[in-house]
Structure 1
Amino acid sequence: MHATDPHADLYDSGLNVFPGGVSAAARMHPCLGRPFYVSRGEGAHLYDLEGVRHIDFNMSNGATLLGHGHPAVEEAILQGLRAGVVAGSETRFHAQLAEELIDIIPCAEKVRFASTGTEATMHALRVARHATGRNVIVKFEGHYHGLHELVLFKAPDPAAPDGTAVPSSGGVPAHWAADVIVLPF
């Protein structure tokens, strides 16, 4: 136990149950040497474990674009939960939202929903490969493109003779690098 640092206590607990002490690798904060822990969110702010208020620039990677805890958003979420929108089945809300998106996005003819950004980029790449008949994709160094094998590559070692992208994680087939070009941003 750390007498004065609740963040260190929580990180110590995390080290016992998570690889690297965090539930997702991206949550390790390199400047802090540990994750940034929050106790609650309100509007455009997050509060850390000591009650210090911070502006939420991350917005849950876009999921809390409207802020934290707005009563109208909370009520809409509760209505959706009661209506079964997360039951793994279709509801009237799915088609309504798709129609609204098609109305406001000029090039959209159809819509496919995904649960995560990883799923969205994985499906988008599959559709692009099918539509173009090409396998090679381009991604930008240092940017998050999801956690599937198609995008887990980083720029090659400048000294490498062939300039082939390098897997950025264990378990990613190195031969897939032939289909990935990593560009600087």
Structure 2
Amino acid sequence: MELWDDYEATYRERTAGSEAAFERLQEDVPAGVASTYRAWDPYPFVVDRAEGPYLYDVDGNEYLDFDMNNGAAMVGHAHPTVTEAASDQLHDGTLFTHPHELLGEAASALKERWSMMDKVRFTNSGTESTMHAMRIARAYSGRDTVLKIEGAYHGVHDYALISKATPEGQVGHPKRPNKVIESDGIPEKTAETVEVAPFNDLDAVESILEDHVNEIGALIVEPIVLAKGVTQPYDDFLQGLRELCDEYGIVYIFDEVKTGVKVAPGGAAEYYDVEPDLVTLAKSIGGNFPVGAFGGREEVMSVIEDGTAHYGTYNGNPLVARAVETVLNDVLTGEAYDHVNRLGQRLADGYEEIMADHGIEGHVENVNSIGMVLFTDEPVENYRDYLEHIDVEFHENYWFGMLNQGVLPHPHDASQQWTISVQHEEEHIDEHLDAFENIAPRLADEQA
């Protein structure tokens, strides 16, 4: 507690203006935030502006940002190329509820990156993308049940908020996770059309499919479970799921809202060389504009033309279509990927070296632009490993220790991960590591 008390006192001293601004926000906005997860103790700092790799709060503090809008900002903040394109589009209109050529240009840019993607529809968020993908998969397969992975996050529609962060005492058997609804207001009957499987266990997945043959019509998976650090697939798990989906006639959905265009130009499908039937996207495809998308094989996507609902006034509006086309064609180039991948490795190596020097138990999970330091020497291959091995309070001390030095190491909480943007440079990685070096001795004492 002594370490936390020191960090909290320093934080309060640095952010008095944020505390006052947050109190005012709570008068008008539930919990004072636009998304409930963004609130934390003692209070979140309140942002004034952002530019490049930096955030600035209302107290004038500068933060070197590796949160990057929960991973939505692989282009960084206010990237000049994206800003110029969006500014130009403002003068030509920001919403057409009629077809326009930018719609096709943005769709084509996505299709070039995902070889299995024959057709694309746009949405306004990752939640909308996964919701529609599940609906389309059900319609195509003719079956009502979706199989998801324990601990995975697929947005906040009713079918997604099941067994995302199940309390330890309610998890059930590791090969047959309990189905736990995680929000008030979701009907109990919703869980009747969702099954839950463990990550990195093909035998358990197949057993569930056998028990629900002719019921499960869709399997949705985060190819890297980014709701729990950076939990990577092992032993051809993703390819094994592809084979099971083929055997059981199931639509295979890759939720690439977080991994899409970040771990490779064609996301995790390219990185792991697996072809799903549908891919859901959002976040970094839009350069900080509110956009989502889903696409896939023509025969699956064609159900939209045959009566499966996908509507939305703002879907594929020209402003975000212009942003998507610009991000994919002009900003996230081959050189950009070489740059962020090199920086990601530099950051991961630096953490490993500092932990070794100070005797801190931990390791880094890193996939190009995405990474996370885990303060445990144990492998984390699924949700149960995360619950057992991650000390959330210890990680909170680390996070606030970094924040007080002006480095936002990743979104708040041990379950998150950092993002390297195209506007980060080597000097920013070194600044990040210097901050960790500064707090490492106290962390080592705390862990001892």
TM range (shorter): 0.7 to 0.9
| 1:118 and 2:127 correspond | yes
| 1:139 and 2:148 correspond | yes
CA contact (8 A) 1:46 1:56 kept: yes
**Which residue number in structure 1 is paired with residue 294 of structure 2?**
none
Cα distance, 1:104–1:44 mapped onto 2, change above 3 Å: same
| 1:66 and 2:91 correspond | no
- 1: distance between equivalents of 2:42 and 2:100? 44
Q: Shift of the alpha carbon at 1:147?
A: 1.5
The one of the two structures with greater contact order (alpha-carbon pairs below 8 A, sep at least 6) is 2
Q: Shift of the alpha carbon at 1:111?
A: 0.5
Q: Could you give the per-residue CA deviations for residues 62-99 of structure 1, whole angstroms, max 9, x where no partner exists?
A: 44321112222111011222232434443211111112
CA contact (8 A) 1:153 1:167 kept: yes
Alignment identity in percent? Answer: 35
| 1:169 and 2:180 correspond | no
Q: Shift of the alpha carbon at 1:130?
A: 2.2
Q: Could you give the per-residue CA deviations for residues 5-28 of structure 1, whole angstroms, max 9, x where no partner exists?
A: 111111211221122222210211
Q: Shift of the alpha carbon at 1:159?
A: 6.4
- 2: distance between equivalents of 1:150 and 1:92? 34
Normalised by the length of structure 1, the TM-score is 0.83
**Structure 1 alignment gaps of length 5 or more:** none
Cα distance, 1:34–1:88 mapped onto 2, change above 3 Å: farther
Q: Shift of the alpha carbon at 1:165?
A: 1.4
**Structure 2 alignment gaps of length 5 or more:** 1-11, 199-381, 384-448
Determine which structure has more spread, i.e. the larger CA radius of gyration.
2
Cα RMSD (Å) = 2.7
Cα distance, 1:140–1:15 mapped onto 2, change above 3 Å: farther
Partner secondary structure for residue 91 of structure 2: helix
CA contact (8 A) 2:150 2:177 kept: no
Cα distance, 1:62–1:91 mapped onto 2, change above 3 Å: farther
Residue identity matched to 1:167: I
- Give the total of aligned pairs: 181
Cα distance, 1:82–1:148 mapped onto 2, change above 3 Å: same
Paired residues for 1:1-185 under 5 Å: 5-29=16-40, 32-154=41-163, 155=166, 157-158=170-171, 164-182=178-196, 183=198, 184-185=382-383
- 2: distance between equivalents of 1:141 and 1:52? 38
Residue identity matched to 2:26: L
Cα distance, 1:139–1:33 mapped onto 2, change above 3 Å: farther
Cα distance, 1:23–1:94 mapped onto 2, change above 3 Å: same
Normalised by the length of structure 2, the TM-score is 0.37
Task: Say which structure is richer in helix.
Answer: 2
CA contact (8 A) 1:22 1:35 kept: no
